Amino acid sequence: MSDSKSQTRCRVCESTSLFTYLDLGSTPLANSYLKKEELSSPEFREELAIQVCTRCGLSQLTKVVHPDLMFKNYLYVSSTTETFRNHCAEMAATLSKRAECKSGDVVLDIASNDGCLLSKFKEVGMRVVGVDPAVNLAREANANGIKTLNTYWSSTVAAEIKATIGKPKVITATNVFAHVDDVHEFIKAVDLCMEEMGIFVIEFPYVLDFIEKNEFDTAYHEHLSYFGITPIAHLMNMHNLQVFDIEYFKDLHGGTTRIYVSRNNDFPVNSSVKKYLDREAQFHITKQDPYRAFAERVMRNKERLLILLDAERQKGKIIWAYGASAKGNTLINFFSILSDQIPVVIDDNPKKWHYYTPGSRMRITGIEELATVHVDTLLLLAWNFQEEIIGRCKAVGYKGSYILPCPEPKIVT
């Protein structure tokens, strides 16, 4: 495979009835941060546009970038925020109970990152194994006692885990299924190794939130797909699996769905499944109109935020940003905001400090620097962690205002 390829069929149902509704231009990879000595070098860029399948309702990117360009050295760390650490603890407790796990049962996490979620399962007595392609994160997880295979998920890996460790009673895939190009191979591998009466749990940002809340900044090259329950249920049915329950977390990543999957008839199907399918039918998930309206709102959002930022600069205010996240980099690059307008972005992940953001070339630093300089306004790029960020800023003495970019730009004092 070359650096990227065009996606001309739906990856779930293989339909060619695709409608492109949002074009964010040619952008750099959202997690490809730059060292100082790289600032004068050109960056890899690719088209960032989204199309919907009018047969099954899956939204997907028009281009697929080779995964090695994005995942072999990965600076996003799951355990950075307290919000997500708490979510992992809740998830481990809930799934252990739902699957009726006993001490010593195997739990597998696909794209296990630094092992944050698996550490919570380990605390409640499970045997854990992770799979992650990032060399740096797999090394870190193994050093912390979380067994992690440094590779991409596949049927070969599933067979190895089944033979050497045992069949997992619980398999999790949090914020990774959207990154997967061959979703059918992914599901086949899950089915190959999952324990009898086991459960497979996927979490991802919900496509209706993406559309209805103007969360366009969730689009980046890693996120190949934008899922609703309709295409997920269709995909599972193709593999003799069923979605049997759905939970929703409104305050996580702008709205996250947790999908419970089992083999057919292993668990009763909760009424939540029909509720979500009905809601998506009313939304017209396979029609063009809701997506056209979304694209129009995104363009209005862009215009309003740029006017707001320009008004702040006209007043002589110093503006920094908070959150050197992938979503923040999508927004900054789509809006063509550069480092001469916002020179610095604060981030809570020390792995990103002293790097520069892709495209916009903003210097990344820790919150401690905010206490040593005068800043009037912070653009909250990681707006999905608004309350946690504002609390941290207050704790270091910041007294300025905040700009929230989504779902509508506004100033918070």
Q: Which long-range contacts (CB under 8 A, 24 or more apart) does 144-150 make?
A: 144/114, 144/115, 144/119, 146/112, 146/115, 146/118, 146/119, 146/122, 148/112, 148/115
Average pLDDT score over residue span 309-318:
95
Instruction: Give percent of the chain above pLDDT 70.
Output: 97
Any bridge partners for residue 108, and if so which? Answer: 129, 171
Mean pLDDT, the chain, integer: 94
Residue 192's H or E segment, with its range, is helix 183-193
Q: Let me know: does 324 contact 357? Beta carbons within 8 Å.
A: yes
The whole-angstrom separation of Cα 227 and Cα 57 is 8
Q: What is the pLDDT of residue 79?
A: 59
Give me the mean pLDDT over the 187-216 stretch. 96
| Per-residue confidence (pLDDT) for residue 1, from 0 to 100 | 47
Domains and their CATH numbers in the chain: 78-265 (3.40.50.150), 290-412 (3.40.50.720)
Q: Average pLDDT for residues 29-34, to the nearest whole number? A: 93
Distance between CA atoms of residues 231 and 287, nearest Å: 14
| Selected residue with higher pLDDT from 247 and 70 | 247
Residue 24 carries which side chain, given as an amino acid letter?
L
DSSP E strands, 184-325: 199-205, 225-226, 241-249, 256-263, 319-322
Q: How confident is the model at residue 250 (pLDDT cuts 50, 70, 90)?
A: confident
Banded model confidence at residue 75, pLDDT cuts 50, 70, 90:
low
Encode pLDDT of 386-399 as tens digits: 999 999 999 999 99
H-helix segments, 284-361: 289-314, 326-334
pLDDT tens figures, 114-137: 999 999 999 999 999 999 998 889
pLDDT band, very low/low/confident/very high, at 85 (cuts 50, 70, 90): confident
pLDDT at 83: 76
Confidence of residue 191 (pLDDT cuts 50, 70, 90): very high
Q: Are 335 and 307 in contact (CB under 8 A)?
A: no
Calculate mean pLDDT across residues 329-348: 95
Q: Is the pLDDT of residue 74 over 60?
A: no
Question: Dihedral, CA atoms, 226, 2, 189, 97, nearest 10 degrees?
Answer: -40
